[in-house]
Structure 1
Amino acid sequence: MTLLRLDRVTRTVQIPDAAPLTILDGVELTVEQKDRVSIVGRSGSGKSTLLNLLGLLDAPTSGEVFFDDRPLSTLSSGERDRMRGRDIGFIFQQFNLLAGRTAHENVMTPLLYATGRRFWRRSSIAADMLDRVGLGHRLTAMPEKLSGGEQQRVAIARALVRGPRLILADEPTGALDVETGTSVMGLLDEVARATDAALVTITHDPAIAALSSTHYLLDHGVLSPRSDLDGALHSEQVPAPQSGIA
Structure 2
Amino acid sequence: MPVSLHEDGALVSLSGVARVVSLPGRAPLQILAGVDLTVYPGDHVSIVGRSGSGKSTLLNILGLLDVPSAGEMVFGTEPVERMSERRRAAARGASVGFIFQQFNLLAERTALENVMTPLLYARGRQFWQREQLAGAMLERVGLGKRLQDRPARLSGGEQQRVAIARALVRSPRLILADEPTGALDIATGASVMALLAEVAAESGAALVTITHDPKVAALASRHYLLQDGVLEPGRQAAA
- TM-score normalised by the shorter chain: which range applies? over 0.9
1:44 counterpart = 2:52: yes
Matched residue, 2:199: 191
Q: Which amino acid aligns with 1:45?
A: S
How do 1:95-110 residues align onto structure 2 when only pairs under 5 Å count?
95-110=103-118
Deviations 1:88-129 (A, max 9, x none): 000010011111111111111111111112111111110000
Q: How far apart are 1:19 and its partner, in Å?
A: 2.7
Which of 92, 96, 105 in structure 2 is aligned with 1:84? 92
Matched residue, 2:177: 169
Instruction: Give the distance between the partners of 2:108 and 2:22, measured in 1 at CA.
Output: 40
The two structures, once aligned, show a CA RMSD in angstroms of 0.9
Instruction: Give the distance between the partners of 1:71 and 1:171, measured in 2 at CA.
Output: 28
Instruction: Give the distance between the partners of 1:15 and 1:108, measured in 2 at CA.
Output: 38
Matched residue, 2:5: none
Q: Which amino acid aligns with 2:24?
A: P
Instruction: Give the distance between the partners of 2:122 and 2:207, measured in 1 at CA.
Output: 22
TM-score, normalised by the number of residues in structure 1 = 0.92
Instruction: Give the distance between the partners of 2:123 and 2:56, measured in 1 at CA.
Output: 31
Matched residue, 1:59: 67
Deviations 1:202-235 (A, max 9, x none): 00000000000000000000000124x4xxx1x2
Q: Which amino acid aligns with 1:184?
A: V
1:30 counterpart = 2:38: yes
> Secondary structure, in 3 states, of the residue corresponding to 1:73?
helix
Q: How far apart are 1:59 and its partner, in Å?
A: 1.1
Q: How far apart are 1:15 and its partner, in Å?
A: 2.9
Q: How far apart are 1:48 and its partner, in Å?
A: 1.4
How do 1:9-20 residues align onto structure 2 when only pairs under 5 Å count?
9-20=17-28
Instruction: Give the distance between the partners of 2:229 and 2:93, measured in 1 at CA.
Output: 27
Deviations 1:171-229 (A, max 9, x none): 000000000000000000111011110000000000000000000000000000124x4
Matched residue, 1:242: none
TM-score, normalised by the number of residues in structure 2 = 0.94
Segments of 5+ residues of structure 2 without an aligned counterpart are 1-8
How do 1:218-229 residues align onto structure 2 when only pairs under 5 Å count?
218-227=226-235, 229=236
Q: Which amino acid aligns with 1:34?
A: G
Matched residue, 1:241: none
Q: Which amino acid aligns with 2:163?
A: A
| Residues matched between the structures, number | 231
> Secondary structure, in 3 states, of the residue corresponding to 2:11?
strand
Deviations 1:61-88 (A, max 9, x none): 1111111131011111111100000000
1:217 counterpart = 2:222: no
Segments of 5+ residues of structure 1 without an aligned counterpart are 239-246
Instruction: Give the distance between the partners of 1:100 and 1:17, measured in 2 at CA.
Output: 41
Instruction: Give the distance between the partners of 2:125 and 2:234, measured in 1 at CA.
Output: 44
Runs ≥4 residues deviating over 4 A: none
Q: Which amino acid aligns with 1:14?
A: S
> Secondary structure, in 3 states, of the residue corresponding to 2:115?
helix
